């Protein structure tokens, strides 16, 4: 089966939302919670004027995961020019053959470690942070089920998708 597609910023953002988050990412959320609840405790014990600093620190602490990280992800999209190229992919029993203006490759199924299906994409992993993105919109309904069956025969399915955060 041959699939032709061009990925978009929305595809990139959705794919990034399924990436594993580092320990630092979760520490930021825990840290902001600590500052926030410390501020609430200070309000209860000493009044709002004493707690202002804690709420300010909680707000500043949240700037990274809520503002800076999403901006950095959008900026990185423009630094990956091959992502948006028109791609032709042929899915066969031996693996995937892809071609675009950037080059051609043949990847056997044994090179893929797992796949994940999102509402709009197939993410096919070759490592923990490396994957190919195939938009579902490039497939007809019958091709969608054929491609899914092909993946399930040859690649381990990721069982628990992480909750998307950006």
2-7+84-154: in CATH 2.30.29: yes
For 79-99, what is the mean pLDDT?
92
What is the C-alpha to C-alpha distance for residues 25 and 151, in angstroms, rounded to an integer?
31
Sign of the Cα pseudo-torsion (70, 74, 75, 77, in order): positive
Chain-centre distance of CA 66, in angstroms? 16
Q: Where are the domains of the chain?
A: 2-7+84-154, 15-78
Whether the Cβ atoms of residue 129 and residue 20 lie closer than 8 Å to each other = yes
What's the pLDDT at 141? 93
The CA distance from 4 to 104, in Å, is 14
Rg (CA), the chain: 21
pLDDT over threshold 80, residue 48? no
Residues 151, 139: contact at Cβ < 8 Å? no
Mean pLDDT of 42-63: 72
* Average pLDDT of span 15-23: 78
pLDDT tens for each residue of 114-161: 999 999 999 999 987 788 999 999 999 999 999 999 999 999 887 655
Q: What's the order of all strands across the beta sheet hosting 103-108?
A: 2-5, 87-92, 95-100, 103-108
pLDDT above 70: residue 17: yes
Close Cβ partners of 16 (under 8 Å, ≥ 6 residues apart)? 73, 166
How many C-alpha atoms does 65 have within 13 Å on its Cβ side? 20
Whole-number pLDDT of residue 161:
52
Tell me what pLDDT residue 146 has: 95
**What is the average pLDDT across 63-85?**
84
CA distance 164 to 166: 7
CA–CA dist 108, 33 (Å, integer): 45
Name residue, tokens 């000493």: 46
Structure tokens that stand for 119 in this block:
């509402």
pLDDT score, position 81: 82
């Amino acid at each position: 089966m041959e699939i032709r597609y061009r990925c978009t910023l929305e595809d990139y953002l959705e794919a990034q939302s399924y990436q594993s988050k580092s320990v630092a990412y979760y520490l930021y959320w825990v840290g902001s919670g600590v500052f926030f609840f410390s501020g609430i405790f200070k309000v209860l014990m000493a009044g709002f004027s004493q707690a202002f600093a804690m709420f300010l620190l909680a707000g500043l602490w949240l700037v990274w995961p809520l503002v800076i990280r999403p901006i950095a992800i959008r900026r990185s999209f423009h630094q990956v020019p091959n992502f948006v190229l028109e791609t032709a992919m042929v899915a066969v029993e031996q693996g995937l053959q892809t071609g675009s203006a950037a080059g051609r490759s043949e990847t056997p199924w044994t090179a893929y470690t797992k796949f994940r299906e999102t509402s709009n994409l197939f993410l096919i992993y070759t490592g923990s942070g490396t994957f190919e993105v195939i938009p579902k919109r490039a497939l007809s309904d019958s091709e969608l089920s054929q491609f899914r069956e092909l993946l399930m025969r040859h690649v381990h399915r990721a069982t628990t998708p992480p909750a998307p955060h950006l």
